[in-house]
Structure 1
Amino acid sequence: MTAQSYKILSIFAWDITIKLYKFMSKFVQEFKSFAMRGNVMDMAVGVIVGGAFGKIVSSLVDDILMPIVGSFTGGVDFTNLAVRIGEANIKYGMFIQNIIDFLIIAFCIFLMIKGVNKLSKKREEQPAAPPAPTKEETLLTEIRDLLKNK
């Protein structure tokens, strides 16, 4: 390659680098504005809280409810209930526990949504405060009152 070829290639590479930098800068700015919107942040908090809540419900089911249910069924431990078919081990006891987990989580979400809907309905039902009188209305009221007093 000649010196002129290297010069053309370096100019071309520099041009591509600048275009790529501008594109990435714009991309990063768009991503920042997307990520910092309220809805995305609310969703992230919801996912984190939901994960923690799921662990609490799983502990409630595994450590409190299922032992009580097991005591009513003659001390059966649901986590160990399984059927062996050939080489497959079908753990229907774990499936039952997961169904109970799901039902409790769904019920709690239902109660939360019901509460939020009730609060938003109360806000809608509250009548709006009457608008404050304008300067003209205030002056006219004062004039009317003065005329009544004469």
Structure 2
Amino acid sequence: WSTDDVQINDISLQDYIAVKEKYAKYLPHSAGRYAAKRFRKAQCPIVERLTNSMMMHGRNNGKKLMTVRIVKHAFEIIHLLTGENPLQVLVNAIINSGPREDSTRIGRAGTVRRQAVDVSPLRRVNQAIWLLCTGAREAAFRNIKTIAECLADELINAAKGSSNSYA
């Protein structure tokens, strides 16, 4: 799929969602060292970040070819169901499902209060990817549907902003 017509509608997340021509990869498997520096992982292609975070829960660790296949199937399903660019659906889902504010613990003199804080753009992207993958994983567990179908549903629902998505 082409990356040219993918719009990122959120100004704050534009630097952190890597989908433009420079990051266009045929396979989301670049074996890059994205964790070496502090904000290096923002340069990682967004599809590959999705692929990597699908490799969760001990039994699936390190099985990247499996998750590449899952993401590929999910993108095919999204294209068939919605008829639009799956990359755009993914970007919209990430924009919609990242939290805009969070609470942190402020400890004063032994008492702990929760204080509302804004979420940094990189953390919004990270949490959005995590939520999407967790939702797809929980939907596919003890279920006939394949994980690819669940991931596709999750992305489509999150992109529409509907409430029955996990994120």
Shorter-chain TM band: under 0.3
Instruction: Decide which structure has the larger Cα Rg and report it.
Output: 1
Bigger RCO of structures 1 and 2 (CA < 8 A, at least 6 apart) = 2
More helix by share: 1
More strand by share: 2
What TM-score comes out, normalization by structure 1 length? 0.26
